[in-house]
Amino acid sequence: MVGRLAVPKTYKLYIGGKFPRSESGRTYEVLSKKGAFLANAALASRKDARDAVVAARAAFGGWSSATAYNRGQVLYRIAELLEGRRDQFVDELVSAEGLSRTAAVKQVDTAIDAWVWYAGWADKYVQVAGNGNAVSGPYFNLSTPEPTGVVAIVAPQSGGSLLGLVSVVAPAIVSGNTVVVVAQQSAPLSAISLSEVLATSDVPGGVVNILTGSPAEIAPWLAGHADVNALDLAGAGDLGWVDMQITAADTLKRVIAPEVGAPAPSLHRIVALTETKTVWHTKSLI
């Protein structure tokens, strides 16, 4: 009996809730830790990055104006769907990153838990990060955090690819930001599988845009993009990240410096990507 011909998969980008090929037509081979061919992935170009920023900006108004309760429910729904495809993600981590099954299961479970953890903060972080300020005079003075806008992210480029991606995307979108994220270059399969989860969840198209390819090629351009409001360089430790910080300063971007591995869940990562707005109100004289 003649064996079947292998049909290798070509993974696409995730932009605006759709799965386009790179406009350049470029792809690159994704290999296992042992050098075996696994799939082809799209090699994103600067034009793809521009399209992703446009999609993120278009989605910002609707996502940022959604209620905190609604955003929390959406993040929890992502966790539910990821739980339903748990075995697929475990298999991908084992084949692509050479993890033991035990280590892969732990990473997937930790990623699911991170979505749930951030979902729980959706309607609480404002009360913790905001404040009623004591002022001299007959005024009320209230400070509250609001989403900063479009956030460009370099996902961690080493360690667990799924957990690294979730650890930077979830805290960015929970407050109402939209994101353009460059996935781990050497192990992008989990990122694209996660985009399939997002596409079938309640996340509006454009809230999360996932690019695969070279962070060295794409990230510096995103750092200088005038319609990007913040830059998370979590996975840019091996790049010229100081130069990117300088470039980002030209357009007054907030910048989060590189970290080693996947950032742990924290309120700080939510608040770092918000702007504090302060309102003064005259007290009644009656």
What mean pLDDT comes out for the span 193-219? 96
Does 72 fall in a domain?
yes
Per-residue pLDDT averaged across 38-52, rounded?
96
Instruction: Specify the DSSP class assigned to residue 149.
Output: S
Structural domains of the chain, count:
1
Q: Which residues pair with 236 in a beta bridge?
A: none
Angle at 160 between CA 38 and CA 68, to 5 degrees: 115
Cβ-contact 145, 274 below 8 angstroms? yes
For the domain that residue 268 is a member of, what is the CATH number? 3.40.605.10
Residue 30 lies in a domain: yes
From the number of C-beta atoms within 10 Å of its C-beta (0-12, 13-18, 19+), residue 253 rates as buried
Share above pLDDT 70 across residues of the chain, in percent, rounded to a whole number: 98
Kindly tell me the sign of the dihedral angle through the C-alpha atoms of 70, 172, 48, 94: negative
d(CA 199, CA 203): 7
- pLDDT mean over 187-208: 95
Per cent of the chain over pLDDT 90 is: 82
Lateral strand order in the sheet of 208-211: 208-211, 178-182, 150-154, 230-232, 254-256
pLDDT tens digit sequence for 50-102: 999 999 999 999 999 999 999 999 999 999 999 999 999 999 999 999 999 99
Domain of residue 261 covers: 10-282
Residue 133 confidence (pLDDT) above 60:
yes
- Confidence (pLDDT) at 285: 53
Determine how many CB atoms are found less than 10 A away from the CB of residue 138: 9
Please list, in sequence order, all residues whose beta carbon lies within 8 angstroms of the beta carbon of residue 182, skipping any fewer than 6 positions away: 44, 153, 154, 155, 211, 212, 213, 215, 218, 219, 222, 235
**pLDDT for res 121:** 97
Residue 49 within any structural domain of the chain: yes
Task: Report the pLDDT value the prediction gives residue 2, as an integer from 0 to 100.
Answer: 65
Residue 276 contacts residue 144 (beta carbons within 8 Å): yes
The answer as to whether 3 is a domain residue is: no
Residue 122 lies in a domain: yes
| pLDDT of 5 | 80
Is pLDDT above 60 for 264? Answer: yes
Q: Is residue 262 part of a domain?
A: yes
Give residue 33's pLDDT. Answer: 87
Mean pLDDT of the residues in the chain: 93
Within a domain: 5? no
How confident is the model at residue 13, as a pLDDT?
A: 97
Does 225 fall in a domain?
yes
